[in-house]
Each structure stands twice: as structure tokens, then as C-alpha cells.
Amino acid sequence: MIKFIGKGVYGAIAIGKISIFKRDELKVKRIKITDAEAEKKRFDSAKALASQQLDEVYQKALKEVGETNAQIFEIHMMMLDDDDYNEAVTGMIDSQMINAEYAVAVTSDNFAEMFSSMDDSYMQARAADVRDISNRLIKCLSQDSAASEQTDGEKMIICADDLAPSETVSLDKDKVLAFVTANGSANSHTAILARNMNIPAIIGVGDEFLNEIKNGDICVVDGYTGEVIVNPDEETLKAAKNRQQDDFEKKQLLQNLKGKENITLDGTTVDIYANIGSVDNIGAVIANDAGGIGLFRSEFLYLESSDYPTEEQQFQAYKKVAQSMAGKKVVIRTLDIGADKQADYFGLDKEENPALGLRAVRICLTRPEIFKTQLRALYRASAFGNIAIMFPMITSVSEVEEILAICEDV
């Protein structure tokens, strides 16, 4: 029996077999090139592919950990377009006539070192983001696929030196009992994502950890105390199972609150609503007895389509949500396209600062027929439930007045 101590980032207890997370080792060689322009085009193509992959990760994160935490990957996409980063890579290609992979690797090391040397712990944790993005770029340049955990259908405790944010989100939650990392910090995006994915997790148990474990070892992960016990003796295992059962029973007590009003001891009613990214999330909302839906992101209908969704297609989606919630309030946000969320058929131009540019309601106001189509679907669906409409990215009173005029017309 061996015990390690780290920092628990999500309080829960897991008992199971270890699966050591293996990623493809990136071997980057310095290669002399003869055509710098062609190499820079390779770099641009890799960035485009990386951006596409990150968008897929973002959509998965959106459904699993919510919009706030999925923004991690919006930031990653923005970092791909960072002028300082890109100029460092292309400058090395031009001045040293070297391959893009090597230029990215060196730039990654330099930027990660810069973040690591900062005094602020949050900024130090950003070094992992730089390495995550750079490793993705290198894989795109070499057309390697990302590594993934293999658990053969059995739930396992994933152990690694560290997990990049994209690796954490890519984990199949149905096959993961917990994860333990030798390194990492409580401010890392991985720790943040773990808390929101409800995965028991312990970070920073030390580099010696990976030398002492092997695949299939029995492990106890205590997210409350930060303890990791490998191959526990019979008495320790029994005590861990008892604590796990106690923890389970406490969480089961919460189920007794289902169906009851959300009222504080002093008589104040509190609305507890859920946020969803698609119709597929309704089951979880009902299972957890949410008081309503505080945000339904309608743009999934546009992002998952090759053309503008019709009024009927939208109506059926909104109607299903409204009916499923059986009179509980459903707040549906109108189309929020732009910035990181792009649909090719919109034909939007690239902007320097898309968050402040043409996006969300500003696009709707410049394309009123698209806006009216969505509003008609929403008003029709409102006959089947309690629907409210949210208009995103409002910047002025005049926009509100214009929106209300269009609503009145519809």
C-alpha cells in the first residue's frame, strides 16, 4: 500500500482500477527548409485545422460544462490568432529557414516559460494552455490524431503527469471514475473543468507517483482529503468503501428535495433554473428537477445545419422544449452567431475584435428576415408552454426599440 497526497479539486470518493493516460510523444526535429513561404502556408493550414478541432471541443464542452467554462476553448481559438505568437513562429521560419513544427515547439517553450515565471498563480497556470495549443498545432502539422484513454468499457481512474484542458473535456465521462495528476494547479482550466464535470479529481501528487503505479492497480481517490491510496490493504479498502457509502447517502438525501418548492427558511422563494445547449439536454433538466430553463441557446440549430434552419424546424425544437417543461419557464436566447461561433452559410467577414463587431442581435438586425423567421417559430411555440425570449449582446436603447418594433410586426 502506497499513499500520496495532492490537492482535491472536486469532493467525492472513487475506488477502482488505474489506467495510465498515454499520449503520443511529440518528437520534433529541426529541419532545414528551402521555401519559407510554402512552410508558412503549412502553418496556416495547421492553424485552420486546429481551429476546427477546437470548435468541436468547444461544442462538447458547451453541453457538458456550460457556456462559462467552455469559453476556455474560445480563448484557445483566439490564441491561435495572437499576433505575438504567430509572428514568433513565422519569424523563425523566415530568419532561420526551419520547419514549422520546430518553430512552434520553440515558441511554445518560450511563451510557456514567460507565463510560468510570472508572480500571479492564475497567469502561471496559462502555461499549460499555451502548450496545449502548440501541441495541437504540431499534431496538425504532422497529421497525427490526438491520443485518448483506453478503458475497454470498464470505468477507470485516469492517471497522468497532467491533463490539458482539451484532454479533460475529451474524456468519456461514462468510462472515468476519477483522475489523478502528478502536476497541475487548482487554477488550471483542467481543475475548473473537473469541478464542473463532477469528476473526482486530485492534482499535484508529485512526479514519483507515476513511477510507483501500473495499469490495473486498485486505487482509492479521496477528493475531500487529497489522498490517493494505491493497492490499499483490506482494512483501508473497507474504510474507504464505508466513506464512499456515507458520501453517496448524503447526496441521495438531496433527491428528497425533488418536487418541493425552493424556499429558504425565512420564506424567500428562489428560482433554480438550468442552462441547456440543445434539445438533447432536456432529460437532465427534468431528472434534476430544475425550476425551469434559464438559458436555451438556439444557435445550435444553426451551427448543426448546412443552411438556414426553416421556421418549421425551429418551431418543432422550441415546441418540444416548451412542452417537456410542462408550464415551467423557458428562456430562449435568439441567435448568437459570430466571434467563435461561425456558420459558413452566413458569409461573415473576419473581424479584428468579433466580440465587439457584427454578432448576435446585431447580425439579426442587419438580416431581418432571418430574425423574423426565428421570432415566428418562437411565438408559435409559445402556445405550447411558458416561453420568454432573451436578446443577446444589446449595446443601446435604439437596438431594443428596433427589436420591439420587429416583434410587434411578427
pLDDT of residue 288: 81
Question: What are the φ and ψ backbone dihedral angles of 133, each rounded to 5 degrees?
Answer: -65, -45
Question: Distance between CA 205 and CA 273 in Å, rounded?
Answer: 37
Question: Distance between CA 266 and CA 237 in Å, rounded?
Answer: 43
Structure-block grid coordinates of residue 291: 425550476
Question: Distance between CA 6 and CA 203 in Å, rounded?
Answer: 6
| DSSP H or E stretch at residue 339 | none
Burial class (CB in 10 A: 0-12, 13-18, 19+), 339: buried
Question: Distance between CA 295 and CA 390 in Å, rounded?
Answer: 8
Question: Distance between CA 227 and CA 217 in Å, rounded?
Answer: 16
Q: Is 223 helix (H, G, I), strand (E, B) or coil?
A: coil
Q: Is 387 helix (H, G, I), strand (E, B) or coil?
A: strand
| DSSP code of residue 273 | -
Contacts of 209 (CB under 8 A, 6+ apart): 4, 159, 180, 182, 228
Strands 156-160 and 227-230: unpaired
pLDDT in single tens digits along all 410 residues of the chain: 899 999 998 888 999 999 998 776 678 999 999 999 999 999 999 999 999 999 888 888 877 777 767 778 888 888 888 899 999 999 999 999 999 999 999 999 999 999 888 887 777 878 888 888 999 999 999 875 444 444 456 889 999 888 877 887 877 777 888 889 998 777 666 677 677 677 788 999 998 998 899 999 999 999 899 999 999 999 999 999 999 999 888 888 877 888 888 899 999 999 999 988 778 778 878 878 888 999 998 887 887 777 888 999 999 999 999 998 888 999 999 988 665 556 666 666 665 665 566 667 878 888 889 899 999 999 999 999 999 999 988 889 999 999 999 999 99
Structure-block grid coordinates of residue 93: 521560419
Question: Distance between CA 271 and CA 330 in Å, rounded?
Answer: 12
**Amino acid at residue number 134:** S
Contacts of 162 (CB under 8 A, 6+ apart): 128, 181, 182, 183, 184, 190
Sign of the torsion angle spanned by Cα atoms 50, 54, 55, 57: positive
282-288-292 Cα angle (round to 5): 60
User: Between the CA of residue 295 and those of 316, 343, 373, what are the distances in Å?
Assistant: 18, 21, 20
* Cell 485552420 sits on residue: 48
